[in-house]
Amino acid sequence: MDLISAAEAAHRAASDREQIAWVDERDQLLGSLPRAELRERGLIGRGTFILLFNSAGQLCVHRRSLSKAVYPGYWDAAAGGMVQADESYALSASRELEEELGVSGVELREHGTFLFDEPGNRLWCAVFSAVWDGPLRLQPEEVLEAKFIEPRLALAEAEAGALYCPDSLQSLRLYLSQV
């Protein structure tokens, strides 16, 4: 395999089979489907976005692995992922933050939801934030690197052409509109 390791490919295949909450345009639960099927059929799933800050107010941004099906190698302003069939948004956010960045036991603050609708990535998104000053433990199948920057710098970098995930930027804009 040229760009991704066998372990990353196996992780991607397993995640494509996960049963994900399937919803309509009003975020009403319709059932569950494998992640890959949701994407292929252009259906809407649920996702979580967790904006992780340090106590100085800097935002953790991380670069997605090249094995990611959506936005491989892009910078991401939020940890997060798809809500599994048996999860609430909050439970999914807690799980994803621990899986991707190794952060657990923190208070998650809710900031609302929005519909992100782009070909190949249709999601009802719930936005959370947390504060953490401890070490990060990056999940190698998901995250290549991470750094803390000023939150508005992520938006400025994206406007200047840096590759940032548009869905996580929308979650950051929602958060910034409230502070």
Task: Find where tokens 């621990």 sit.
Answer: 98
pLDDT tier, 15 (very low <50, low <70, confident <90, very high otherwise) = low
Residue 100, marked binder: yes
Q: Please indicate, yes or no, if residue 69 is contained in any of the structural domains.
A: yes
Q: Is the pLDDT of residue 13 over 70?
A: no
Supply the pLDDT for residue 120.
87
Q: Please indicate, yes or no, if residue 1 is contained in any of the structural domains.
A: no
Q: Please indicate, yes or no, if residue 103 is contained in any of the structural domains.
A: yes
Q: Please indicate, yes or no, if residue 99 is contained in any of the structural domains.
A: yes
We report the CATH number of the domain holding residue 12 as 3.90.79.10
Total domains in the fold of the chain: 1
- Domain of residue 41, residue span: 6-176
CA separation for the pair 166, 163 (Å, rounded): 9
Residue 107, marked binder: no
Instruction: Provide the token pair at 97.
Output: 């933050």
Supply the pLDDT for residue 28.
97
State the greatest distance between any 2 C-alpha atoms of the chain, in Å, as a whole number: 45
The predicted-structure confidence for 45-75, as pLDDT tens digits, reads as follows 999 999 999 999 999 999 999 999 899 999 9
Instruction: Confirm whether pTM is higher than 0.95.
Output: no
pLDDT tier, 1 (very low <50, low <70, confident <90, very high otherwise) = very low
Closest CA to 142 of 49, 10, 11, 34: 11
Q: Please indicate, yes or no, if residue 93 is contained in any of the structural domains.
A: yes
Q: Is the pLDDT of residue 8 over 70?
A: no
Element (H, E) at 16: helix 6-17
